[in-house]
Structure 1
């Protein structure tokens, strides 16, 4: 299905196109009518509701759209378009819809939800969760407010799929408008590459929300300009506070920093290209890199090393005996390379991006350490949208990536390590993971938590051996804001990238 802007949005964009000059920070100095001025790190590569295009695009989705479910500021799962959800006696998930409307005033119905599932799970869909949704064999709509999802096998984690910001609900129809949703704000105008303007949706289903009259999101791709705009008072709230500026913002009594640990940096591989189709080579890469230097160089010490799968030490599924599975060991890296038939190393290209300093710095540290074991790396550093495209197409040998899991459950790692899912820039390209996929499937069909712990421990052992990704480090993720910004929450752990959902509660004091 082709996602596109409608004529309405195109005309709004065209009207703004009379002046395509970048709106520098000083042009946005005055805040009026309760409009929040938000500093985005990137312009959305597309308005495809279900595709994964990065955190900035996710924040835009969370302004416009809502899904069946979402996460509360404390990280707990909550209903959105669904007011209740439960497993029935036959093992199907049943969602009861609340009274909600699309931004054109028409009601949200069970048929809309069923259509979303059907469209997003089609073989040619670009949906990030297409693989997971294909396990839903049938969606029944006994009435306008009831949705019953039947799966191949019982699923303990299905509601979490529908909380993902890449699985919002959009209105059923032949002429689909992916910029019109059921969320708290309407997209009024776009100036491509520069800004997006939103106004409050007065038909939003949560009484008294949103608290803001609107949001003006301006793109500051340069992280230093983004901080400067906040310091100058031209922006109220910014995402992706660069790590070198966090202390500066903390010490400024005219600003405040909200930072959490949760995102992580890692490497992906092109599993269709030699030599990275060999697990010994991938594991050699894992043992060749000293992670402390990434934390210091890219994140100014605001993070921690990650030498196994990204399962945090505070998680009930954390296994301390596996935490150093990919520990720095250059001698072991050289031994694995020799066993794989590359005693003298080889040349390759590493994809990253220059748009985010931490991505480039991470790539440079990896490049330096890989050279010490004979792997000569050439860096490819395009801007973010091209990096996403190259990642989706497998146009790389190995690549630097940074993200979070879909949620705080180990099943949330599926998006990153399950090779049975459709191609995505967030996971290794063309790399099959049959054992890992099997354990993930077993884990999501098991409701007993102790049994799930045992299943995921076995999965982690296999992952360390076969190395579908290389964990590098945890990182702090920060939002900077003026003191009069209230109600915005940087959500905990792996959910930090969902923080845009709290913009419905945000106000300007």
Structure 2
């Protein structure tokens, strides 16, 4: 009996070991299929050290990057872009263009909002009409000024009719700011700044101001196998040293750091630096409704007084290139600004222009900036020093993020240091920011030539002719200097080694749909 009992016990042990081995092999293979080299961690919640609190989650109204990086996970648009910046289907599975002013989109069937309701063409119509409604004050309104009518053909088909040919139309339909939203959620809450219900890969679970934003996996997402994560938690860490410490200890999986902190991060074990040339540029915006910035000679004098190479070297540690209104990363659309006269530092010429404008002895002004972005503060401080050479005494006003957004929106500033993104079409860089009716023209700037070129660029279909138009438009914007364009920075993500399948690109720097957290 004893021998039989021992034999039975050994059999159970061997069977258990064999079962365990098979189970482990299966886990390893599954992880390898996801691109990993080991086992997936039990908790698939990606923790991100966020440098800024979101300013609201309404995709039609809020332009702040701190908001976009979150609500772009919650909402989808009809179209999207691939890595080569080519328009691809998203909520629309296909589209047709019967003529130059008509676009017909066929929607995917069975796509659900996070509240469980199926999305239809009525939701698409409502979303675009909300964007186009002046009372919404949508950041994307000017994107769709050429839309004459929107017709629901069927629950899965919708037709847009434009007033004339409009080259950027599909690019703007693919914008995050053209997200499809649910009417009942807007009506229930007034807007979507605090309540977010979309069709995207992640759902809003909780937003605790100045602490964290929690997203969870959309189990009904229409893309099979995505997202692989169970959730994403954005931990608000405005202090850069706190983010550096958190990524070193593994408190967070991903964060961003300025160029100054990259050497420190590189010395840390278990982390990897992932970089890409951004479509952003740093700028100084002038309130052209205020003296002395209503005089183009004053704005040009400031441009001549600024040493942009020093901005690149000091603020970005050399990890930046000169930029105009369309940054270098936009390829064929960008001009070589290094040869532009207003990009050559010339103190004497700057003083002459100030004297011609009636400011021979200079003047006093205020440079406003966001206190929580190191690069913006450093840029303001460097400009303060450089402008002293032509007699301009600038006080720096550091604003909390909410104040900064309000200041940008209301035009309540003299000079404002910031960063903009060029988007996917050159019309954004010219018409959106600098045409008289541009949704993001917060500078009070108006120029007939810019308006004319912006209109030609929008309505010209031939790509080569569009390049010529936008080349001329960039030179005109630089000459008029409603903004002082500085540099386009390289951007950095600091990532723990446990994060698999993540490669930031200029188009999709924070696409985590295929990410897996490994042990």
Secondary structure of 2:304's counterpart equals: helix
Tell me the alpha carbon deviations over residues 455-489 of structure 1, each in whole angstroms, 9 at most, x when there is no partner: 11221222122112111112111111111212333
What is the aligned partner in structure 2 of residue 470 from structure 1? Answer: 484
Aligned match of 1:113 in 99, 124, 145? 124
Whether the aligned pair in 1 keeps the contact of 2:326 and 2:426 (CA below 8 Å) is no
SS of structure 1 residue aligned to 2:299? helix
The whole-number CA distance in structure 2 between the counterparts of 1:409 and 1:116 is 24
Report if aligned partners of 1:36, 1:236 keep a CA contact under 8 Å in 2: yes
Q: Which residue in the other structure is 2:11 paired with?
A: none
* Aligned: 1:175 with 2:185: no
Distance (Å, rounded) in 2 between the aligned partners of 1:273 and 1:481 = 44
Q: Deviations over 1:407-430 (max 9, x none)?
A: 2545444333333223x4xx5421
2:515 maps to 506
Aligned Cα RMSD in Å? 1.9
1:359 matched residue in structure 2? 376
Q: Contact between 1:284 and 1:336, CA under 8 Å: does it hold in 2?
A: yes
Aligned residue in 2 for 1:288: 305
* Alignment of 1:132 onto 2:143: yes
1-side partners of 2:338 and 2:267: how far apart?
38
Asked if the contact 1:266–1:470 (Cα under 8 Å) also holds between the matched residues in 2, the reply is yes
Q: Distance in 2 between matches of 1:485 and 1:66?
A: 24
The size of the alignment, in residue pairs, is 469
Q: Which runs of 5+ in 2 are unaligned?
A: 1-40
TM superposition outliers: structure 1 runs of 4+ over 4 Å: 410-413
Give the conservation status (yes or no) of the 8 Å contact 1:267–1:398.
yes
Q: How does 1:59-74 map to 2 (within 5 A)?
A: 59-74=69-84
Q: CA deviation at 1:206?
A: 0.5
Deviations 1:156-197 (A, max 9, x none): 111111222222111123325541110011111121110011
Query: 1:236 & 1:303 partners in 2: Cα distance?
Result: 26
Contact 2:59 2:177 in 1 (8 A): yes
Deviation at 1:325, TM superposition (A): 3.9
> What is the rounded CA distance, in whole Å, between the counterparts of 1:389 and 1:153 in structure 2?
35
Residue from 102, 109, 115 that aligns with 2:113 = 102
**Equivalent position of 2:29 in the other structure:** none
Kindly indicate whether residue 256 of structure 2 is the aligned counterpart of residue 254 of structure 1: no
Residue aligning to 2:24: none
Which of 76, 82, 97 is matched with 2:86 structurally? Answer: 76
TM-score by length of 2: 0.86
Please tell me whether residue 49 in structure 1 is matched to residue 48 in structure 2.
no
Q: Report deviation, 1:42.
A: 1.1
Gaps of 5+ in 1: 1-30
| CA gap 1:134/1:222 in 2 versus in 1, 3 angstroms | same
1:187 is the counterpart of 2:197 = no
For residues 321 and 66 of structure 1, the distance between their equivalents in structure 2, rounded to whole angstroms, comes to 35
**Equivalent pair of 2:326/2:334 in contact (CA under 8 Å):** no
Is 1:459 the counterpart of 2:473? The answer is yes
- Residue 491, structure 1, aligned to residue 512, structure 2: no
What is the deviation of 1:322?
7.0
Give the alignment's TM-score, normalised by structure 1.
0.88
Contact 1:411 1:440 in 2 (8 A): no
Alpha-carbon spacing, 1:152–1:332, altered in 2? closer, same or farther (3 Å): farther
Task: Please report how far the alpha carbon of residue 313 of structure 1 lies from its aligned counterpart in structure 2 after TM superposition.
Answer: 7.0
> What is the distance in 2 between the residues matched to 1:229 and 1:92?
51
- Decide whether aligned partners of structure 1 residues 411 and 429 sit closer, same or farther in structure 2, where only a CA change above 3 A counts: closer
Equivalent residue for 1:223?
Answer: 240
Aligned to 2:451: 437
Structure showing the higher helix proportion among its residues: 2
2:18 alignment counterpart: none
> What secondary structure, in the 3-state scheme, does the structure 2 residue paired with 1:60 have?
helix
Seen in structure 2, the aligned counterparts of structure 1 residues 75 and 137 have a Cα distance that, compared at 3 Å, is same
